[in-house]
Structure 1
């Protein structure tokens, strides 16, 4: 606002109505007599946040610059007693907000300057066009001086300027950056986003070091990454598992990012964090071992592989009639309470307490499954840190040395084999063999007879599809749920599960990995404990359950990994046909990120992905960046596009061979 000449006099309201104003008069006008000028050049309404900030400033410091007004007249040119605000409409609105909140009276006097010599529209335009705002760097340092010289807190400064304490903290942090950075910002060589990236840390030496390493023209995300490269992100699974509070209580410090909505942050002591993770996992493992009685329990960040461990699962337990009745009664009461109080938003305390009592009682009965005490006595537990930062307990693991010894083979009885040369040789010519009804059959004869039976059994099985289906499911289920030493089946169907975690670490915590594990655990709880009882179980399944179990067991054998040391083009082609048959859509299972794809391919591949999913312009825009920067930018561009690399896309359906036309068919026959 331009400075106006000092007034010659100030008049009361009564005098103002009666006399003719002179240009430059300073008058006190009641707030409720100030009106918006129809000739104000500013048509766009003031932002509410700006009015709030101005109102907070006026409440503390008053109106620092007097509004410029002109007397309002009626159609005949007579004064109405009102005044049109030519310059200072924002101040008028802010004063009105204070009056609305009872901070000042509606008739509070407002010191104004009368302008009669200029066109109201022009001076209003001039006020907004020629005004130069303060450089943000000056504002940051001014806020810092208020905090340091006057000892004002962020909350106090925010109240005086109508901004939040968080905004004040951001400006204070920016005002405290390395002076070299501030001068570059003033000179226009650094952007505000770059300044915020440098200000993640208050370490001036580190800021200068990163500036020297990267220069002044690097993208903000790369600066922020360099400023925090030796720290652990607050989103890391270890940080989520421990939590900021426990980490702080142990003496760790967290570097907070004041310039993100969630506050972000980095744990500055990775060694301390790793120790806390190990101690907490160890505590959970020991608590599970003591409570449940397992022989051993071990903590691990990731599931250890290639240890040769067998695994057992819990099985349904028989409940007493009393327990069954109690569970039924509690469940019935729970359902009745839900029906009665379902429409009520806030439950009475006694009803809410009863819900909790029923929940606790039902939880005490468990889910109806349990591990065999002998398995618990020789088995153990892994406590794994999941990718989501939550400990996952893997029970029922048996070490090779703790596996029970296989039972001896049963007596063969009539089919007992004897070695050749021990009565198995044909009797010499002319001699009658000695009769010995209890003598074992020769090995050669046993082979002959059982071969005959094998072929006949196979032929009969082929004629009975239902039994054949049961036999296949039985063989696969033995391989899926029972140890290798306990798989009684005559079908030589080999079921092998690929170790996918070795190719893609953390795959068990993906959507597909969790789905497979949950389905496997559900079936493991249903199949009988003894492998010898599985045949009866399989034969007793409904057709739907039999097919579901077959599908699950078959799914465990899928291996479409393209390993350079194990080329299987036929299997890979079949995987494409299988994906086509089940209509596999990998967009629901996988997304392109720096870790999953973009950081592991060439710049050409990155550009190709962005070009396919976004546009040629986007690919060209990031093409000049370094690979790491290009990958990070591409991740943001590809988010939500559903782009997949060729290996993960839906396969192209195989077109059936065209049928021969009659004429062509005849020609073929003639040629033959």
Structure 2
């Protein structure tokens, strides 16, 4: 090891230099060298008369920039510390980590190069002061297809998406999925795990890892999760084991004599329609009553002698609670008419509900009747998204907000209408527009409540009136618009029918002039939630018979959803999202002899929502 002077013409940037993504501020480096000289030598190894710089790449580029400006000559010599070629990889990585942060693509390649020299993750982490977990992730990313690492280097593929691609080791599949998903991490993960079950899912936790693996099930570990989480490779086995376990529990209830027992993986959607049953409380037997009395006496004696915080009291209290809990249970009359619903909760626990079973089951719909494209729950979610978009538009238009408010007040106070028939609820009740995140993956529309909380965070609860009085006219109008927008309600109860309120909402939506398609586009999650037959019918209506017949041969539901999504027009909207979806003919309640009956039905549906 020694420092010598070397002509610029003899210097080259080493291919072993671990910084391949060009660093920033090369021109400023050149300016600094021109002003102050080369303050720190380069580090290189010699090969056939040339010196390959592997530490000091920015300084080398700065010198080349000065030569390009003709401020120095290629014959000028500069100090170079000569090292062996074997030291180049480690020293280059060390220098770059200590200076400007390396690009992730460079880190991935560098750690892979060190691994190829025989180092393991622990050794690499110890050498460079990095966490072992960080090094391990970089090494795992180095298993990606080289073309994908090139995309990372060009900042055309995010690290989050790259991590999702490591769920498969097949390079061809990595590239294919990355292209199909447009580099979106969520979509990549969904496409690579569409036939797997997350080990954090309720069904898998309910079954248990031991039971799953005992039946031959295997797991793909997600290296970027906490602990040993990952994906069960045999979803059909998870479902089979979960159903068997549920059926076993259901048989226990049937053996007791319950009138109806239902066991399904998901919580039954219609439980809210059934009257709940609650355990009855019986009188204690003589032995139970004597035991309770004895425990009460013991607790009182201990409290007097040792104080109420004595450690001896808690076990006695637990015994008493166990006895009193045993007094509560369903009696024979309840069991004879009752139903039990069993399901797997999201946290993997057993969900249970006891209800009064109906004497007569609901008649089943005829198989010949046409089925709707969208389920009731999906229509409800779409109406919430549409409401959120219209709320946003109203909040940006104070003049419209004032018109909407005046219309609602005049309708109620001058024309005898009811608040539940209007497009806004002036009882100061925020209209919730919560939907699953995957349905909002393509939209940046925020809830107006969040926007208002940010905009008017300085308005205090105490002294609010004085603050509002002191506001400028523009601030008052913005406050009015936001508050009115928060009460705009176009949501539709799952299974409910549109009423007068929805008709008024459509008028407001139309008045905003908002183009819903520019604020929300249908994500893959929408098509995942639709029935297979509905997807084919949708494609037939939107793209024609040939397209529908072609996709009808696709076996996997997830692949069908992706194909339908790709074939629809770019600004396509599902019917419930379109402006005017819930329009109704204008009617005058005071002149309609059936108005009261209509209003009552509308109110009932809205109150249930």
Larger radius of gyration: 1
If asked which structure has higher relative contact order (CA below 8 Å, sep 6+), I would say 2
TM over 0.5: no
Q: How does the TM-score come out when normalised to structure 1?
A: 0.39
**What's the TM-score once normalised by structure 2's chain length?**
0.42
